[in-house]
Amino acid sequence: MGRPPSYPKELRERAVRMVLETKNEHETEFSAIVSVSRKLGIGSPETLRKWIRRAEIDAGQRPGMTTEESEQIKALKRENAELRRANEILKSASAFFAAELDRPRRY
């Protein structure tokens, strides 16, 4: 069983907006989440709840790492790994050429 398909950004934004607009009509925020997730065909109310929490963090209404910060960290980790690989290649090349220079030459 693989990962379920990703929902379009527009659907996620619309679902979050709908919950925020209708949560006063429900006893709890989660009942609003369940209602909206059923209306929009979102597989699990928990999925929508996570989208709402992420939107709150991104808007500065809740503590946590924003989506932008998370993406920056991922990009820096990828760059760091790439630089480490390049550094290892340069070290190997340097050792190879140093060994070549140390070998006695036959004329």
- Which band of pLDDT confidence, cut at 50, 70 and 90, is reported for residue 4? low
Say which residue the tokens 């928990």 belong to. 46
**CATH code for the domain of 26:** 1.10.10.10
| pLDDT at residue number 12 | 94
Residue 2 in any domain: the answer is: no
Give the integer Cα–Cα distance in Å for 19 and 36. Answer: 6
Q: Domain of 48?
A: 7-64
Per residue in 17-71, pLDDT (tens digit) is 999 999 999 999 999 999 999 999 998 999 999 999 999 999 999 999 999 999 9
Give yes or no: residues 94 and 105 share one domain: yes
Give yes or no: residues 80 and 47 share one domain: no
Number of domains in the chain: 2
Angle at 71 between CA 68 and CA 30, to 5 degrees: 65
Give yes or no: residues 16 and 57 share one domain: yes
